[in-house]
Chain A
Amino acid sequence: MHISEGVLSGPVLLTGGALAAAGTAVGLKKLDYERLPRAGLLAAAFFVASLVHVPIGPASVHLILNGIVGLMLGWGAFPAIVVALVLQGVLFQYGGLTTLGVNTLIMAAPAVVCYYLFGPLVHRRRPVAIAAAFACGFASTLLGAGVAGAALMFTEENFLEVTLLLISTHVPIMVIEGLITVFCVAFLLKVQPELLPGFKMTLDEAATGKDIHDT
């Protein structure tokens, strides 16, 4: 899902860079003291996940994890993913610095979209939550392929062809991403539900929480 240097034209790079910078600015504003360690943790997971290649299907593709990053960080996914991409570019020769903006957009924009689409669903009944989590992991990769296809549209073949190729090579990853997101969400719901978006405590919990706090 990383676009190499020297593939895209100047205007595409600039547009991608500007949009990514805007997203990062919004994300940094929303990263308060409480969310900062979480962002670092997820940036680290994202950074390392790219080394996990899944040798299924025609092309060699790797984990992205942008679904769970988006779900747990919202707009904070932008700064987390920028940092991880810079490090991947510098240390793994992966992507590139001129394509940083476009690559950020490819992976962080779907993360934010998934946050708004599926975030409100994860605290519903269990089957709904599991389905939403799977869809979140699946769709974040799918949308990423769409954004990458849009960026490549101006330099390579036509949009549909590139996007379909990207999507078809990433199908195994989409399924795996979906499963990982289900796993993470199920785990978080059990131990730390307030890390997931849209968490509202029931009256009982709120009452006991208040009690403990007061005493």
Chain B
Amino acid sequence: MIPEWRARNQCRSHLGVLLGVLTILLNCVPVTAKAHNVSLFAWVEENKVITQSKFSGGRLAKNARIEVYNASGEKLLEGRTDDQGQFAFTPPRPEALRIVLLAGSGHRGEWRVAAEEFGSAGSAERPASSEAGASPPPPAAAAPPQVPHAPTAAELQALIEGSLEKKLAPIRRQLAQLAQRPSLQDIIGGLGYIMGLVGLGAYLQSRRKSG
């Protein structure tokens, strides 16, 4: 057998070299980033729910099954994504939805749509009467004498929510994509955890040896 001290010294230096080489090697392969999961993102546009499905690395999940459930777990509808990885549907009622993507080979993604996201047109109709009564009268009181068709408070709210929704949709999409991408901190943190565990293991073993 190789002398222990020599083996240990060599081990240390050569493992360092190997780590360096591995790192360089890994960096050479084109990195398209992101984790290996399949991600599903959905947003609401005027009562219509649009879903976008993507594999890690940015590849679109085409012809993947989408299932839509309501809050109580009933399956409302299902469909398949198109060539753009998208699937759009109009839910029977504006309510909280759970959308599940099944992309085959054990890939599964999930996205929840909250009931509030249907704010613009769907739910605005129902609270309209109560809101019109409860909201302060100034616009209504000031408008009638000048313009015959002044928008009521409810109409105004619907308009504002509608345009806000349109402006916010792409931002929401970006946020979801950002959340999916592992950051440099994640990677370095993970390596740190591994080193820490090795240290812990070495400590435990050295205690067992001496004790």
Chain A contact residues, CB within 8 Å of chain B: 1-8, 31-34, 36-41, 43-45, 47-55, 59-63, 83-84, 87-88, 91-95, 148, 151-152, 156, 162, 165-166, 169, 176, 180, 183-184, 187-188, 191-192, 194-195, 201, 205-206, 209-210, 212-213
The 7 A-B residue pairs with the shortest CB-CB distance in the complex, in nearest-first order: A40-B198, A60-B57, A3-B106, A213-B3, A92-B35, A53-B57, A4-B108
C-alpha spacing A185/B193, complex, angstroms: 27
- 15 residue pairs from A and B, CB less than 8 Å apart: A4-B106, A4-B108, A36-B201, A44-B191, A44-B195, A53-B31, A53-B57, A59-B105, A60-B56, A60-B59, A83-B193, A83-B197, A183-B25, A191-B14, A212-B6
Q: A2-B36, A94-B36 are in contact. Are A55 and B194 (CB under 8 A)?
A: no
**A60 in contact with B55 given A156-B104, A201-B1 (CB within 8 Å):** yes
B108 near A192: Cβ-Cβ < 8 Å: no
Q: Is B58 an interface residue (CB 8 A)?
A: yes
- B35:A93 contact, CB within 8 angstroms: yes
Residues of A within 8 A of B127 (CB): none
- Chain A residue nearest to B182 (CB atoms) is A92
- CB contacts under 8 Å to A, within B1-34, are 1-8, 10-11, 14-15, 17-19, 21-23, 25-26, 29-34
Q: Interface of B with A (CB < 8 Å)?
A: 1-8, 10-11, 14-15, 17-19, 21-23, 25-26, 29-38, 55-59, 100, 102, 104-110, 180, 182, 186-187, 189-191, 193-195, 197-198, 201-202, 205-206, 209
Select B31's contact among A51, A91, A205, A206, beta carbons within 8 Å: A51
Known: A92-B182, A180-B25. A33 touches B15 (CB 8 A): no
- What are the residues of chain A within 8 A of B193 when measuring CB–CB? 83, 87
Q: Are B182 and A40 in contact (CB under 8 A)?
A: no
Would you give the shortest CB distance from A59 to chain B, in whole angstroms? 7
B6 touches A192 (CB 8 A): no
Nearest-CB residue, chain B, relative to A157: B104
Partner pick for A41 among B10, B15, B104, B110, CB 8 A cutoff? B15
Given contacts A194-B2, A213-B4, 12 further A-B contacts (CB under 8 A): A1-B36, A3-B106, A7-B107, A34-B11, A47-B190, A52-B29, A87-B193, A92-B36, A162-B105, A187-B18, A212-B6, A213-B5
Name A1's closest neighbour in chain B (CB-CB): B36
